[in-house]
A = this chain, B = another copy of it.
Amino acid sequence: MKTTSKIITSPMCEITCFEQEKVARIKAELLKEEVLLPQLAERYKLLGNTTRLKILLALAQGELCVCDIAHVIGLTMAAISHQLKLLRDQGWLAMRNDGKMVYYRLRSDDLLKALKDDGRLLRERLA
């Protein structure tokens, strides 16, 4: 209810901005990507883990059950199952039940499309 137009003390340096125009312009540029960047980061984060990369490469050779993936990579099924869920949530894996076994396979098309699109986007913006 204060009516004074006092400048709010921002948590960061509030005085010196050495290139106000430039800063404002770049800020506006970034604002355009407000939606895309978090999604991009999410996908790259998923690729930023050796276990998950190994799972993707393993499944590139064909369908596998959780147990076999665990053997290939050398971790417990629980650990693998957790990572599989993350990759599945991203839409890069598909699963199929057969009795008590669960087989996972790569959704190559979606994965490769994501890789290509994201890479292109970044390269465009960074060039």
Task: Return chain B residues, CB-CB under 8 Å to A18.
Answer: 65, 67-68, 101
Task: Return chain B residues, CB-CB under 8 Å to A122.
Answer: 47, 115
With both beta carbons as reference points, the residue of chain B lying nearest to A78 in the complex is identified as B12
Docked CA distance A56–B76 (Å) = 37
Docked CA distance A109–B82 (Å) = 37
Contact B23 A68 (CB under 8 A): yes
Shortest beta-carbon distance from A44 to chain B in Å: 4
Contact B126 A11 (CB under 8 A): no
Residue with the greatest number of chain B CB neighbours at <10 A, chosen from A70, A71, A115: A71
With contacts A23-B71, A68-B22 taken as known, whether A76 is within 8 angstroms of B125 at the C-beta atoms is no
Interface pairs (22), CB distance under 8 Å: A13-B67, A13-B77, A17-B71, A18-B67, A19-B64, A22-B61, A22-B62, A22-B64, A29-B61, A30-B57, A30-B72, A37-B53, A40-B47, A41-B47, A44-B47, A45-B48, A46-B48, A57-B125, A57-B126, A60-B126, A60-B127, A116-B119
